[in-house]
Every structure is written in structure tokens, then in C-alpha cells.
Amino acid sequence: MPAPEPVIVYPPELPVSAARDEIARAIEDHQVVIVAGATGSGKTTQLPKICLELGRGRIAHTQPRRIAARSIAERIASELQVPLGGAVGYRVRFTDAVSEDTRITLMTDGILLNEIHRDRL
């Protein structure tokens, strides 16, 4: 039985939440989108949720450090009210928390490069 769809809400105090519709249109219309914003504006936690809401199948979200990938995955899973390793998970060197239901995967840059190298389409 597939996991239930996460309930996506956007904290109104974050600038990215206010620009959600504009960002979603840009993601739908363009292959590459660059979002610039101040620290704490919600880029890291809200952009994957926008992609999820747009129906993107598998979302790879990179972070330079293992601890960042894991803690951000925990934060997004908490915001979506889903268990870590369900709709939201992480893959870092030596450990992971993912499943067949995982749609947003936080990972280090190196893990993404390894995945791309292995999965040559």
C-alpha cells in the first residue's frame, strides 16, 4: 500500500512562501531556475515542497555536508508530517533513510554524482 500523500503547507513568514506561485511558474516553464534569497528565506526547505506540489517524480536535493543533508531531510519530513525515510529521505556516505516511496532525497554532492554515473539512462 503506497504511503499517503503529504500535506504541503508553506510557512507564511518565509519570503519563498510569498513568491511560491512565481517560483512554481518558473519551474514549470524553464529547465533551469536560479532562486536567490537571503539566509533564512526558505529556499532550502520550501523549494523541494514546491517541486513536490508540481508533481515532480523524484527530487534530488544536494547539500555539501552529510549532517546538513540529514538535518534538512528531518526538517522537511517534519514540515510535511511524514516519517523520515517515507516521502522524504536522505542518502549520505555510510547511511541512508530512503524507501520506494521516497520522492525528495537529500544527499551530498558526491552521492548525486555517483548516482548519475551509475544510472546512465
Q: pLDDT tens digits for 49-81?
A: 999 999 988 999 999 999 999 999 999 999 999
Give tens-digit pLDDT for 86-102. 999 999 999 999 999 99
Distance in angstroms (rounded) separating the CA atoms of residues 99 and 115: 16
Contacts of 43 (CB under 8 A, 6+ apart): 16, 35, 37
Q: How many Å apart are CA 50 and CA 28, to the nearest integer? A: 11
Under the banding of pLDDT at 50, 70 and 90, the label for residue 2 is low
Q: How far apart are CA 101 and CA 17, in angstroms?
A: 25
> Confidence class of residue 117 from pLDDT cuts 50, 70 and 90?
confident
Residue 1 pLDDT level (bands cut at 50, 70, 90): low
Per DSSP, the residues of 13-70 read TSHHHHTHHHHHHHHHH-S-------TTSSHHHHHHHHHHHTT-S-EEEEESSHHHHH
Section 42-47 average pLDDT: 97
